[in-house]
Amino acid sequence: MRRGQKKDRTGRYWLAIALCGALLWLTPLSAQEADSSSAALPDSAAVARDTLKVLTPPPGSGIEGPIKYWAEQITFSLNDQTTHLAGNSKIQYLDITLTAARIDIDWQRNSLTAYGVQDSTDSLGQPVYKGLPVLKEKGEAPISGIELQYDFRHNRGKVRTGRTNMVPGYYRGEDIRKVGKETLFIEDGYFTTCDLEDHPHFYFRSAKMRVRLKKQAVARPVTLYIADVPVFAVPFAIFSLRRGRRSGIILPTFGENSQGG
């Protein structure tokens, strides 16, 4: 089968799924509405109850298993083939569980975006959110942030203003991208082994970090901060992550080996 035909067939499959879901949950029309020539099938339908849905992907879609999702309200949109979850939203896919206040699923792109919702403002007038997205994978530390994007087909996620903890430390970043099960790419963030993860006594700040789970973290450039004061900076550093949790400063290797730098 040619690629164009396969893509078209997959698109028709998702459209059929969306149509079936919408028709299943549409409020039945009264007899008078059914007889009216002006009655039309809406392009969306809402489910105002907490319910479980299971979607089984078509063969060749690139999605490895069924997608289960719950929410207080589920809205199907037929025009753009999307599903919108609101209120205690939850998705399970393979060994991954995602929770958030809101989740938007795009069936054409096999992707989703999860958000928190503003609850109040702090003393400085900044928004305070609730229901922030939390992505958990079996056997791994959760990743959370203001906004989370996930691609079912490629098993890749991206978190805006994200945070996670992986032995031996804690990570924060303006953007955190997870590729596969063992690699994180962190932009404009920091790494610390201080137990005060929100206000650490010391941390290494870096524009770009690549973290390989239980192996090493590579950062460039790197600046060590103590009590929020920059102490020294280097263009490139490697941190070993093979040992367990530690509360002291991990001294990195500068350059390509312990003799460099």
At the topology level of CATH, where does 1-28+43-154 sit? lipopolysaccharide transport protein A fold (2.60.450)
pLDDT single digits (tens) 174-222: 999 988 778 889 999 999 988 887 889 999 999 999 998 878 889 999 9
What is the rounded end-to-end Cα distance, in angstroms, of the chain? Answer: 55
Which residues make up the CATH 2.60.450 domain(s) of the chain? Answer: 1-28+43-154, 161-261
Question: What CATH code is assigned to 161-261?
Answer: 2.60.450
pTM (2 decimals)? 0.71
pLDDT at 156: 86
Q: For tokens 């400063």, what's the residue?
A: 249
pLDDT band, residue 98 (cuts 50/70/90): very high
Residue 138 half-sphere exposure, CB side, CA atoms within 13 Å? 5
Helices (H), the chain: 3-25, 31-35
- Looking at this protein, which amino acid is placed at residue 51? T
